[in-house]
């Protein structure tokens, strides 16, 4: 009987201790603010525990180490940067590290930048490592937000953007209108780059596309300013002034005031919406457009109507 009582006491105490430990590892932890912790490659369980304590993520280091060993976490410490939210429990900390749920940083490439400008952005972006040693042609990079782990190579972002552009371009080309006056996928990319530079109003892109495609069908010059600017800057520098009449006479295959058809290549890296606008433009008979002084454009079917719109725009400039 005495032995039975002792056994029952041991069982009760064991269950009580188990429930106490279970409560400890499930309770909210001491962390007050969102905190990132970096676990280096090859770090020991002791080193990881000390770093978590130092960062204020946990306050029961011995319990953490014991539970980590019991759960085999000490053999599955995955290096990387981890982000913890306020009050994160000890159990949640162990789960996140054991599952390798590393924190991903982001870099956003805006639409309409040249490849040179994007390369500069990536080359100077913090938390990326290494030099860029990949050749990039104009229009090869898709403007988008890309995720990466701390310490990822700059080349990896370039490769992501290249792959994304190729995939998107092929999908858009496959779904294009059947009557486009475009010879191949490269011409679609070139047209989309012009559309991207011509308007910052998303809903205008399909209409701007229709103007250029209508002009191509009629054998008219495109006469678009961004191509002339690209001819002058070669995509390497910003253009800090207005175009002059003399600029429109520059001898360059990118000068669409002198040359017929599309320029020999893209003038920037267009976004997904500009690509779609080039492939599936809004149906119209417009051949001209000019700024309306409010951030958008006025469109016209005839030169006479266009000239009236130009005069209206000039009046708005004087005001």
DSSP 78-110: --EEEEE-TT--HHHHHHHHHTT---EEEEE--
Within the chain, which residue ranges are assigned CATH 3.30.1490.480? Answer: 27-98
pLDDT of the residue at 10: 41
Any idea which residue has 């205008």 for tokens? 204
Phi then psi dihedrals of residue 303, to 5 deg: -65, -35
**What gap in Å lies between CA 66 and CA 45, rounded to an integer?**
10
pLDDT band at 17; cut points 50, 70, 90: very low
User: Which CATH number fits the domain 27-98, given the four candidates 3.10.20.30, 3.30.1490.480, 3.20.20.80, 3.40.718.10?
Assistant: 3.30.1490.480
**What gap in Å lies between CA 319 and CA 314, rounded to an integer?**
9
pLDDT of the residue at 313: 78
pLDDT of the residue at 9: 44
Cα dihedral sign for 146, 152, 157, 159?
Answer: negative
Torsion of the alpha carbons at 228, 229, 233 and 237, rounded to the nearest 10: -170
Asked if pLDDT for residue 316 goes beyond 70, the answer is yes
pLDDT band at 78; cut points 50, 70, 90: confident
Q: Which residue has the higher pLDDT, 239 or 213?
A: 213
| Strand 80-84 relative to strand 35-39, pairing | antiparallel
Beta bridge partners of 104: 149
Give the mean pLDDT of 206-224.
97
Beta bridge partners of 105: 148
| Strand 35-39 relative to strand 288-291, pairing | unpaired
Torsion of the alpha carbons at 42, 45, 51 and 54, rounded to the nearest 10: -160
For residue 147, the tally of other CB atoms under 10 A from its CB is 12
Give the mean pLDDT of 235-255.
85
pLDDT band at 213; cut points 50, 70, 90: very high
**What gap in Å lies between CA 304 and CA 234, rounded to an integer?**
34
**pLDDT, tens digit, for every residue of 257-280?**
999 999 999 999 999 999 999 999
pLDDT of the residue at 8: 43
| CA nearest neighbour of 274 among 183, 179, 206 | 206
Any idea which residue has 């294009």 for tokens? 176
**E-assigned strand segments in 104-222:** 104-108, 145-149
pLDDT of the residue at 148: 96
């Amino acid at each position: 009987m005495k032995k039975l009582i002792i056994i029952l006491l041991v069982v009760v105490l064991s269950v009580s201790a188990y429930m106490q430990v279970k409560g400890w590892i499930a309770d909210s932890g001491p962390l007050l603010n969102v905190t990132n912790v970096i676990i280096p490659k090859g770090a020991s369980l002791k080193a990881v525990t000390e770093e978590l304590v130092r960062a204020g993520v946990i306050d029961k280091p011995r319990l953490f180490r014991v539970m980590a060993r019991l759960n085999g976490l000490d053999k599955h410490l995955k290096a990387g940067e981890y982000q913890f939210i306020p009050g994160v429990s000890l159990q949640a900390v162990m789960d996140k590290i054991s599952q390798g749920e590393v924190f991903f940083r982001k870099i956003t490439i805006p639409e309409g930048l040249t490849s040179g400008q994007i390369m500069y952005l990536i080359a100077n972006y913090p938390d990326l490592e290494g030099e860029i040693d990949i050749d990039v042609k104009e229009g090869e990079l898709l403007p988008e937000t890309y995720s990466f782990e701390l310490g990822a190579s700059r080349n990896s972002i370039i490769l992501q953007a290249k792959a994304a552009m190729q995939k998107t371009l092929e999908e858009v080309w496959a779904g294009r209108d059947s009557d486009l006056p475009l010879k191949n996928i490269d011409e679609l990319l070139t047209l989309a780059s012009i559309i991207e530079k011509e308007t910052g109003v998303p809903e205008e892109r399909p209409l701007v596309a229709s103007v250029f495609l209508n002009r191509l069908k009629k054998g008219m010059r495109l006469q678009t300013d961004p191509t002339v600017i690209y001819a002058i800057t070669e995509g390497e520098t910003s253009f800090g002034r207005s175009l002059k009449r003399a600029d429109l006479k520059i001898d360059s295959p990118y000068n669409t005031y002198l040359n017929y058809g599309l320029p020999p290549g893209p003038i920037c890296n267009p976004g997904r919406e500009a690509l779609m606008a080039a492939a599936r433009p809004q149906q119209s008979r417009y051949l001209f457009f000019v700024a309306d002084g409010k951030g958008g454009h006025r469109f016209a079917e005839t030169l006479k109507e266009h000239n009236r719109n130009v005069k209206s725009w000039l009046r708005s400039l004087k005001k």
